[in-house]
Homo-oligomer: A and B are copies of this chain.
């Protein structure tokens, strides 16, 4: 039952995070289709973040599935993850309004990186609570996607100060990697639920 409430609270926060981002899509003052043109980058950044939050929700779901005992550490590691994800609407709005600028592109990557680290900490907290023979520990071993994502985020942050569109391309590519099901490691991922 304790686990139920952890899930319910996380679902609530993620549902709100994914939905309040749309409030950044300000209604245009004009009423022609051309007035939607300047909203396109905002819409695209919303779409990208929607997919990222969706990936996190999806994997969070699998990850908590593996939890047997909810410890205080798991509670706080989970809140820590939600904290970074709650900042996604902020960087999404910033990147949407300044889609070719350096700092917003780097900030977006920094939040994704912190969320990935928070997710990794949450995994460790679950394994620690489970004890030695954790199923999750084995599943995470060869987790290629989980290990490569932070490296790509770091690359994107660095690239932002040269060509911001490269960062955007990397963010889209990482989301794509996570979206496309990888048949060979699907079973492992289903158990481990490692996110972007």
Chain A interface (Cβ < 8 Å from any Cβ of B) = 1-2, 5, 7-9, 11-20, 22-25, 27-28, 31-33, 35-36, 47, 50, 54, 57-58, 61, 65, 72, 75-76, 79, 82-83, 86-87, 89-90, 93-94, 97-98, 101-104, 106-107, 179, 181, 186
**Interface contact A15-B18, CB-CB below 8 Å:** no
Contact of A86 among B19, B28, B65, B107 (CB under 8 A): B19
**Nearest-neighbor residue (CB-CB) of A104 within chain B:** B31
**Interface contact A28-B94, CB-CB below 8 Å:** yes
**Interface contact B18-A20, CB-CB below 8 Å:** no
Provide 23 A-B residue pairs closer than 8 Å at the C-beta atoms, listed in order of the A residue. A2-B65, A5-B11, A7-B8, A8-B8, A15-B16, A16-B16, A16-B19, A20-B20, A24-B27, A27-B93, A31-B97, A31-B98, A31-B103, A31-B104, A32-B101, A35-B103, A50-B83, A54-B79, A58-B75, A58-B76, A72-B181, A72-B186, A76-B179
**Nearest-neighbor residue (CB-CB) of A93 within chain B:** B27
Identical chains in the assembly: 4
| Cα of A75 to Cα of B36 in the assembled complex, Å | 30
Contact of A19 among B13, B32, B79, B93 (CB under 8 A): B13
What residues of B have a CB within 8 angstroms of the CB of A179 in the complex? 76
| Cα of A41 to Cα of B79 in the assembled complex, Å | 21
What residues of B have a CB within 8 angstroms of the CB of A33 in the complex? 103, 106-107
**Interface contact B103-A32, CB-CB below 8 Å:** yes
A59 to chain B, nearest CB (A): 10
